[in-house]
Amino acid sequence: MDRFLSSAVNRIDAKGRVSVPAHFRAVVQKRGYSELYALRCLDRPAMDVGGLDLLDRYEQRIAQEDPFLRTADDMSFFCHGDGTFLKLDQDGRITMSDFIREHTGISAEVAFVGRGNFFQIWEPGRLSTYGAEARARLLQLRQGTKPGERPE
């Protein structure tokens, strides 16, 4: 399987390292990612993590905009300024920098969530909160609340 699926929670050690789930590492290798690109999610306390193709997609999108308009600048600000590279060490671990901790609230444990072509990193507590909200929204949709309306 070459997609990031399922989820797992791993502990951060005293040096700030955390193991990427073996299954994810296998996908990373199968896809030939030599480096991982991590991006602060726009509206959630999570990081999207994937290969450079993730970044390429953003850059291609930006290229379509007028480079001198603010939108293009905002987009670049986001995908370059709010992104970072992650290095897998030889034991398959990554280090949780302050850059990541600030945005996610991660401190002692990390939740890894597969998302197909990429995966996400969450603080476990916030993930379950968010998951509950997402389910509630879907439920409301089914029960006939106006689509697009944000519950709460």
Site for DNA in 44-63 (CB under 7 A): none
81 binds a second copy (CB under 8 A): yes
- Residue 30 interacts with a second copy (CB under 8 A)? no
Identify the helix (H) or strand (E) that includes residue 95. Answer: strand 93-95
Neighbours of 90 (CB within 10 A): 5
The residues in 71-90 that bind DNA, with binding defined as CB under 7 A, are 87, 89-90
Is the CA virtual torsion 64, 99, 128, 137 positive or negative? negative
75 binds a second copy (CB under 8 A): yes
| DSSP β-bridge partners for residue 19 | 93
Which among 27, 56, 54 is positioned nearest to 39, based on CA atoms? Answer: 54
Minimal distance, residue 134 CB to DNA, in Å: 24
How many CB atoms are located within 10 Å of the residue 127 CB?
Answer: 22
- Decide which of a second copy, DNA, none touches 31; Cβ closer than 5 to 8 Å per partner kind: none
Selected range binding DNA among 7-15, 40-48, 64-72, 127-135, rule: CB under 7 A: 7-15
- 72 binds, options a second copy, DNA, none, Cβ within 5 to 8 A by partner type: none
How many Cβ atoms sit within 10 Å of the Cβ of residue 144? 7
Residue 2 binds DNA, judged by CB under 7 A: no
Please tell me the count of residues contacting a second copy according to CB under 8 A: 52
- Residue 12 or 112: the one with the smaller Cβ distance to a second copy is 112
Q: At residue 50, what is the residue type?
A: G
